Amino acid sequence: MSRRQFLTRVGAGALGVALASPAVKAASERPIEWKMVTTWPKNFPGLGTGAENIARYINEMSNGRLKVKVYGAGELVPAFEVFDTVSKGTAQMGHGAAYYWKGKHAAAQFFASVPFGLTAQEMNAWLFYGGGLELWQELYAPFNLVPLPGGNTGVQMGGWFNREINSLEDLKGLKMRIPGLGGEVLTRAGGTSVNIPGGELFNALKNGTIDATEWVGPYNDLAFGLYKAARFYYYPGWQEPGSTMEAIINKAALVELPSDLQHIVLSACKLANADMLAEFTARNNAALRVLVKEHGVQLRRFPDDVLHALRELSTEVLNEVARNDAFARRVLESLTGFREQVRPWTDLSERAFLIARDGIQAGAG
């Protein structure tokens, strides 16, 4: 099978995007140049390089006919202006996370990560085979945007704290950088959620602007040097069990491309989505060893009663978002319905195998 035939089969049709099909342009024509703006620092490990990978895949698979230049947060526009910049067509692509855009629509948060929700594997299954991607594209259509999964970090860490968390009372009055639905849950628990770009986290934590922060996991957190600003590193990442990064594409720019380039753009995002999860899985534990053994980080598990309380508060927050917006209710019903559909198999396969492999008692911490 030729490369073009392969891309046609796995591109727009597989991702559920309805696109026009202009004639393929001659290879001798001048390359098409696109801009990609991101919410991440330039070339930041995992997240920033994930955006760079999309651009590289597009350039390579198109034989240079479509060239994408990546701009880190603040280089062309601030981190939290990515959505509007791509929507207006000032840049043709963006890379970030959908929970940053809850101000555009409350339902956007569901396509990044849901507290106590889907793992990375389940999230990909919901998006590609459970109707999630169609809902996501329907939500973004009025903004002239085509959203696609553009990476996944896997289960994240619970965050960095400047004091121990022994009970729910310890979260009260806590000012923490935690975006999206997780931030709403923290607020419900008596804390204050703050949403600031990743590049500002270290200074904010160091100078006391915030008391705690979650970012991603050991690989990224080590790169930011967060261990220099807080001692206690908590798990599990109840707030982000399988965080999907998004690639957003200006739809008008996409449909103007020849059909094969359209498929290449969509396929590049899907390749980068799989690659990012593999990289985080490969690198997180080595980074965690450095944090603990070389930098003396205090690794702690959230107490069971704290996790139980956060799970109950999460249910309250999710139901409230759904009550207040009909589309958010559709998305939540789809997501939770899919979780219940796949849970029995997850229990019989992944969970049962891990218990058998590692000799863990079922339900043990």
Model pLDDT for residues 212-257, shown as the tens digit of each residue? 999 999 999 999 999 999 999 999 999 999 999 999 999 999 999 9
- Using CA atoms, how far apart are residues 174 and 211, in angstroms rounded to an integer? 6
Average pLDDT, rounded, for the chain: 92
164 and 124 fall within a common domain: no
Do residues 100 and 136 share a domain?
yes
Same domain, 64 and 200: no
Q: Distance (Å, rounded) from C-alpha 119 to C-alpha 244?
A: 10
CATH of the domain at 303: 3.40.190.10
| Radius of gyration of the CA atoms of the chain, in A | 21
Structural domain boundaries, residue 164: 159-240+296-341
CATH number where 276 lies: 3.40.190.170
Q: What is the pLDDT of residue 359?
A: 83
Q: Domain check: are 182 and 255 in the same one?
A: no
What is the domain count for the chain?
A: 2
* pLDDT recorded at residue 361: 53
Does the pLDDT at position 27 exceed 60?
Answer: no
Rounded to an integer, what distance in angstroms lies between the CA atom of residue 115 and that of residue 80? 22
Q: Give the pairing type, strands 232-235 and 298-301.
A: parallel
What's the pLDDT band for 21 if we cut at 50, 70, 90?
low
- Alpha-carbon distances, residue 354 vs 119, 275, 358 (angstroms): 15, 23, 6
If asked whether residues 124 and 217 sit together in one domain, one would say: no
For residue range 342-351, list pLDDT tens digits in order: 999 999 999 9
Question: Are 275 and 229 found together in one domain?
Answer: no
For the purposes of burial, counting CB atoms within 10 Å of the CB of 219, is it exposed (0-12), middle (13-18) or buried (19 or more)? Answer: buried
Q: Does residue 22 have a pLDDT over 60?
A: no
Q: Can you tell me the mean pLDDT for 304-324?
A: 98
21 within domain boundaries: yes
Q: In this predicted structure, what is the pLDDT of residue 9?
A: 42
- The answer to whether residue 227 is domain-embedded is yes
Does 86 score more than 60 pLDDT?
Answer: yes
Query: And the tokens for 187?
Result: 């607020």
Count of beta carbons in the 10 Å neighbourhood of residue 111? 27
- At residue 148, does pLDDT exceed 90? yes
